[in-house]
C-alpha cells in the first residue's frame, strides 16, 4: 500500500550527510537537489555544464557545490571519481537522455545506453569505496516498452536503432544494474543499499528531444494533459533516498499505470527481474567501460 501522506516535507534531517546527484541542474535532478539541501544535506551538483550547474546551485537554499561530470565520456567519469576524497552518503544516478536521434558517446557507444547506463555503472563502481548508505538509480516505466530485452549481441543497436528501443533498453539496464549491484553488496557484507525509482509521467524538458517530430508534439500535449509536475515526479527518488527500504527495491507512483500519484514500492517486468541477465549485463558493462566491481579498499586522507 502506498504511503499516501508522504511528501517532501516528511524527509528526515540530512544534516552532516553528503549527496551526489547527476544532472542536478534541471528537471527532476534540480527538484531533488533542492529538497535534500533544504533537509540539511551537502549536495554536489554533478553536471556536464559548470555554468548552468552553478546558476542552478545558486538558486538552492542550503549547502551545495558544483563538479563537472559528462556521463557520455568515461574519461570525465574517471576524473570526477579520481577527485573524490571523502565519505559519500548518497549517490543519485538521475541524469539521462531520452529518445534521441541516433548518436554516439565519446567512446563510441550508443548514446542512451552509454549515458543512462554505462556512465552511471562506471561512476557507481568508482565511488563505491566511499559510499556509506545507498545508491538510487532513476529508471522508467519505459523499461516495459518494446523488446523488453538487452540486445547482448549488439547493445549499440547498429542497423536496428529506434529512439524508443534504445531508451527502453537503457532503462531496463538501470534496473538490472540495481539488481546485480544489490546482490554484490549483500555478498560483500556491505551496509550500502542499491535502489531504483521512476517518476511516472513527469513534465520535464527530457521529453523534448525525441528523434521523431510527431512524437515530440505528442509528448508536449501529453505533458499538458496527463503529466504530474516535476516536484511530484521527484518524490519516488526522494522516497527511495530516505526511507528504510529493502535493497533492490523499486519505487514509483501508485496511480493508474504508475503515471502519477504517491510514492510506493512497485513491481518491475520479468525481464528486469532476471538475475542471469543482470549478471551478464554486469560483465558486459565491465568490458565496455574498463571499470570493475568497485568495492575495494582505498587509502583515504
Residues with catalytic annotation?
167
CB neighbours (10 Å) of residue 146? 15
Q: Which of 117, 122, 152 is nearest to 137 (CA)?
A: 117
Cell readout for 175 is 534496473
- What sign results for the dihedral spanned by CA atoms 51, 56, 60, 63? negative
CB neighbours (10 Å) of residue 264? 18
**104 forms bridges with which residues in the sheet?**
110
Q: Give the span between the Cα atoms of 137 and 238, in whole angstroms.
A: 11
DSSP-derived secondary structure letter, 281: H
Q: How far is CA 133 from the centre of its chain?
A: 16
Q: Give the span between the Cα atoms of 263 and 1, in whole angstroms.
A: 10
Q: Give the span between the Cα atoms of 205 and 271, in whole angstroms.
A: 28
Beta strands in the chain (DSSP E): 18-22, 42-47, 63-68, 88-93, 131-138, 193-197, 250-253, 263-265
Amino acid at each position: 500500500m502506498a504511503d499516501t501522506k508522504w511528501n517532501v516535507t516528511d524527509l528526515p534531517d540530512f544534516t552532516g550527510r553528503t549527496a551526489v546527484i547527476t544532472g542536478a541542474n534541471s528537471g527532476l535532478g534540480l527538484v531533488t537537489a533542492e529538497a535534500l539541501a533544504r533537509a540539511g544535506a551537502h549536495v554536489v551538483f554533478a553536471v556536464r555544464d559548470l555554468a548552468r550547474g552553478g546558476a542552478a546551485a545558486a538558486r538552492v537554499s542550503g549547502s551545495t557545490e558544483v563538479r563537472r561530470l559528462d556521463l557520455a565520456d568515461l574519461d570525465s567519469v574517471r576524473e570526477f571519481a579520481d577527485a573524490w576524497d571523502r565519505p559519500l552518503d548518497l549517490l543519485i544516478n538521475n541524469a539521462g537522455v531520452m529518445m534521441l536521434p541516433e548518436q554516439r558517446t565519446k567512446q563510441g557507444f550508443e548514446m542512451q545506453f552509454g549515458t543512462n547506463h554505462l556512465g552511471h555503472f562506471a561512476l557507481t563502481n568508482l565511488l563505491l569505496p566511499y559510499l556509506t548508505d545507498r545508491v538510487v538509480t532513476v529508471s522508467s516505466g519505459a523499461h516495459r516498452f518494446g523488446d523488453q530485452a538487452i540486445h547482448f549481441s549488439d547493445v549499440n543497436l547498429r542497423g536496428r536503432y529506434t529512439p524508443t528501443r534504445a531508451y527502453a533498453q537503457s532503462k531496463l539496464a538501470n534496473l538490472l544494474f540495481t539488481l546485480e549491484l544489490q546482490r554484490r553488496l549483500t555478498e560483500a557484507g556491505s551496509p550500502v543499499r542499491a535502489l531504483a525509482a521512476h517518476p511516472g509521467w513527469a513534465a520535464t524538458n527530457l521529453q523534448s528531444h525525441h528523434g521523431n517530430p510527431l512524437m515530440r508534439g505528442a509528448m508536449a500535449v501529453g505533458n499538458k494533459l496527463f503529466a504530474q509536475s516535476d516536484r511530484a515526479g521527484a518524490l519516488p527518488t526522494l522516497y527511495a533516498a530516505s526511507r528504510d527500504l529493502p535493497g533492490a527495491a523499486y519505487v514509483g507512483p501508485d496511480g493508474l499505470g504508475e503515471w502519477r500519484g504517491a510514492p510506493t514500492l512497485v513491481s518491475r517486468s520479468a525481464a528486469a527481474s532476471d538475475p542471469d541477465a543482470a549478471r551478464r549485463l554486469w560483465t558486459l558493462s565491465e568490458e565496455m567501460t574498463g571499470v570493475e566491481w568497485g568495492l575495494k579498499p582505498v587509502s583515504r586522507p
